Homo-oligomer: A and B are copies of this chain.
Amino acid sequence: MAEGVTALAARHHPSVALHFHPQCFLSAGHFAGRDDQRAAAFIEVANDPSFDALWFGRGGYGSGRIAEEVLGKLNDAARDKAYLGYSDAGAMLAGLYASGFLSIAHGPMPADITRAGGEAAVMRALDYLMTRSTEALEPSVASSGKVVAFNLMTFSQIIGTPLQPDLTDHVLMLEEVSEYMYRIDRSLLHITSNKAVQRVAGIRLGRCSAIPDNDPPFGQTEVEIVQHWCKRSSIPYLGRADIGHDADNKIVPFGGLGQART
């Protein structure tokens, strides 16, 4: 995976120097290394001014476990750095955004190269990291104010914790994968019941893919579900977002174009 991404980068962006931290290749139970190893690797790269960006290798589960430790140890170089990832990485992205970091984006990761058509996703991410390519962006970002994007379940499980950022006046984009429809419903009920979330400018729904069969059928589509909870919580539903656990996943710079560095 690392070789494929490195080769792709060399072909299309010869000036890029990708560094896969050795921690990426560790294994400790469910995780790529123990928490202390993963936290140390993150802090090492984030705090090193010779790196322009910290690109999350993959999702799964685990970034939230080390977020508190990491966030307490980041320096000024870390604040100048770009961060890119999605899915479980959203827990850390949320914490970075809550901490006032300015260059955070939701978008493809190196592991996406293993998807069908995944090279395009990885190239999109590299284009964004190297040039802040506007073609890499989720289409509604250009005409929106502040924006953020999260995996639905990941966002649900930072509600009411120090990682939850103030999203007042933000467009909140949410995507999901491999969750039953009743769980998509429950997560949206959870999120839209939070008073702070109710201050968002609106919600856009990304793709909800690989939904296991509900037994019995749930009775509503994911769009009907989000429309229901938006109406109930007086949050504007703004339509679909071009994000998801797939190769088409576009990039959403947290804060919107006003925040993204060029």
Contacts and interface: CB of A to CB of B under 8 A. Distances in A.
Interface in A105-158: 156-158
Nearest to A164: B160
A218 B186 CA distance: 25
Nearest to A193: B161
Given A217-B29, A219-B28, A160 B157 contact: no
Q: How many copies does the complex hold?
A: 2
B30 A219 contact: yes
Contacts of A29: 216-220
A2 interface: no
B189 A27 contact: no
Contacts of A214: 30
A196 to B, nearest CB: 8
Contacts of A190: 64, 157-161
Contacts of A101: none
A63 to B, nearest CB: 11
A64 B194 CA distance: 13
Given A29-B217, A30-B219, A216-B29, A61 B185 contact: yes
Contacts of A185: 30, 61, 65
Contact of A186 (B157, B163, B186, B196): B157
Given A61-B185, A68-B193, A159-B159, 10 more contacts: A27-B216, A29-B217, A29-B218, A30-B217, A61-B183, A157-B186, A157-B187, A160-B160, A161-B190, A162-B193
